[in-house]
Amino acid sequence: MARLPALPQLLNRKIYKTGQTRGADDDVIYQNRVSRNSTVLIPYELWDQVAFVPEGEEGFERGYIALIKPTDYFQNPNIQQELISRNLVLGQNALIFYQLRSDWDNYNPERLGWVAANSRESPLGGSYVARVAGTTAQGGNGDKISRGFNTTGMKGAGIRLFEYAPQSKIEACRIQLEAVFWMCQDSIEAATEFGMSLENANARKLGILHTAGVTGLLDMDRLYRARMIDRHGVTVCPLCLERLSGYGFFNRMSQAMGRQVHDLTITEVNLFHIDELRYGVYNHKPYNLGWGHHHCNVVVKDSGIEDTLTWMENVLKNNSLLASG
């Protein structure tokens, strides 16, 4: 296939970032904005409910680490047998994860002579990892405790399990998401205003729509039922169902007077998971990712569209009752 003309840099970066995880700061165990096929972290207490790979996959592409609470490890006389039955080995694919100061005080790994882990691949280089928040409480050492995966080149042990997607799904989602951008009524105008020639914009649009079609990513009925387009094949926001403008992929959010932030990078249109990311399913997949208004995305958060619509219905009902008397 002939190489397609390049997208405007901002749009290309926006589509590329859909294959990355959400942000994470240094105080948590997760990596910050890395590929969704990175090492996954699985809470041991949820192991039996969620420790399975996506359908059709043989395993996690970069492995997994089970995170075990200190109390689950030290207070369970059968823990070794349980770990064996689940093919888990401390220091190989499992770690003790300290988050509570009481656990750190009661089962201090340094007193046990343990070493903090420093590798995401087996062997992990240690038996534990710690992220204990600092405290100002009197009568004790309130310093923050951060052990393992806290150096410049090794920040974070892995990603949240529910954010995982194999590389094949990441690439398919990017193709479909770009196709959905081109289905905005003014996508050509927006692309040309932000750097593409008219000829290149048309060539890119036709090429991506063709690729999406031959790879099964352009089923119009599925896109409609997924709330990604309307009945006329035009891109809409999955929550409010208003048509999206191609310019919204480039334009920065408007800011309230007197509260402007000079380095704001949030655009009017952002990635939108139709069914929310949550434990027990892998929802970063084709026909579940659309584009939506930033404000609509903020409203939905991690609740999912259906629950959000039910909540909004109740809000309107309560306000109509107030208005009527």
Q: Is 274 within a domain?
A: yes
Count CB neighbours of 16 within 10 A: 12
Per-residue pLDDT reduced to its tens digit, 236-250: 999 999 999 999 999
pTM (global) more than 0.75: yes
Which two three-digit tokens encode residue 105?
A: 């005080």
Q: Is 269 within a domain?
A: yes
For residue 322, the model assigns a pLDDT of 81
Count of domains forming the chain: 2
Question: 176 and 278 in one domain?
Answer: yes
User: Which residue range forms the structural domain that includes residue 80?
Assistant: 38-163
Which two three-digit tokens encode residue 137?
A: 């409480």
For residue 282, the model assigns a pLDDT of 97
Give pLDDT < 70 ranges for the chain: 1, 136-141, 253-266, 325
**Which among 97, 131, 163 is the end of a domain?**
163
For residue 136, the model assigns a pLDDT of 66
Q: Is 322 within a domain?
A: no
Q: Is 51 within a domain?
A: yes
Question: 75 and 108 in one domain?
Answer: yes
CA 55 – CA 177 distance, rounded (Å): 22
**Which among 163, 189, 224 is the end of a domain?**
163
Question: 300 and 210 in one domain?
Answer: yes
For residue 98, the model assigns a pLDDT of 98
Per-residue pLDDT reduced to its tens digit, 111-150: 999 999 999 999 999 999 999 998 766 555 689 999 999 9
CA 227 – CA 82 distance, rounded (Å): 43
Question: 180 and 247 in one domain?
Answer: yes
Question: 171 and 307 in one domain?
Answer: yes
Q: Is 319 within a domain?
A: no
For residue 276, the model assigns a pLDDT of 94
Q: Is 97 within a domain?
A: yes
For residue 256, the model assigns a pLDDT of 38
Count CB neighbours of 101 within 10 A: 18
Q: Is 249 within a domain?
A: yes
